[in-house]
Amino acid sequence: DGGITQSPKYLFRKEGQNVTLSCEQNLNHDAMYWYRQDPGQGLRLIYYSQIVNDFQKGDIAEGYSVSREKKESFPLTVTSAQKNPTAFYLCASKLAGANEQFFGPGTRLTVL
Amino acid sequence: AQSVTQLGSHVSVSEGALVLLRCNYSSSVPPYLFWYVQYPNQGLQLLLKYTTGATLVKGINGFEAEFKKSETSFHLTKPSAHMSDAAEYFCAVSLSGGYQKVTFGIGTKLQVIP
């Protein structure tokens, strides 16, 4: 089955710790995205990558980092510099030239 | 630049009644418009999209939306609500061509009352 997987589904972290969220796709999509979702705020773009070894900051990149070493993988690291990291994180991907993005199931991060 | 406004963060309808979720957009160039649905603790699923051509777009699960340029609207409708339609719905806009950054609305939670 082709699709986007995110792991883990739920993640708990202590304040001051870095944590990495996984996103893998086997759709052969070129572009990948990370969004943050908070109640009543819709989706906000953190980072995106259009090709391997290249990525750009989105609207709320502070406190986050990414890498794109392989076409199918786009991990997101939430660093201790992120002031309010508790949120639902969504990964998405898209074919170059296509219009719509496809989403993974999400990771809910809770900082204790 | 583009933006999306969804009117009503919560909408309640009776089972069998018409569903109408409102979306207005602003865009400096012809837009691409999308409606996504999200069930609790899940990702977003594309319901339908408008790019070019026919302004009435049909999607999955009996939903449809009409692009009205003069009103800058892309409202989502379904003639008869089912209990399974209870979810959160997001309207989104992107610009044609290039990278196509997508801007999402804040979402509308649909409650279906039996």
Query: Does residue B24 register a pLDDT over 60?
Result: yes
Q: For chain A, give the number of residues.
A: 112
B-chain residues within 8 Å CB-CB of A106? 41-43
As a whole number, mean pLDDT of residues B94-110 equals: 83
pLDDT of B29 > 90? The answer is no
Binary contact (B107, A42; C-beta < 8 A) = yes
- Percent of chain A having pLDDT more than 70? 98
Q: What is the mean pLDDT of chain B?
A: 92
Mean pLDDT of B45-66: 94
Nearest CA in chain B to A40: B106
Q: Cα separation of B38 and B95, whole Å? A: 23
Separation between Cα atoms, residue A65 and residue A77, nearest integer Å: 5
Contact between A42 and B105 using a beta-carbon 8 Å cutoff? yes
B105 contact A CB<8A: yes
Read off the amino acid at residue B92. Answer: A
Residue B98 predicted with pLDDT over 60: no
Residue A48 has pLDDT above 90, yes or no: yes
Closest CA–CA distance from residue A53 to any residue of chain B (Å)? 17
Is the minimum CB–CB distance between B7 and chain A shorter than 8 Å? no
Q: Does A99 contact B49 at a Cβ distance shorter than 8 Å?
A: yes
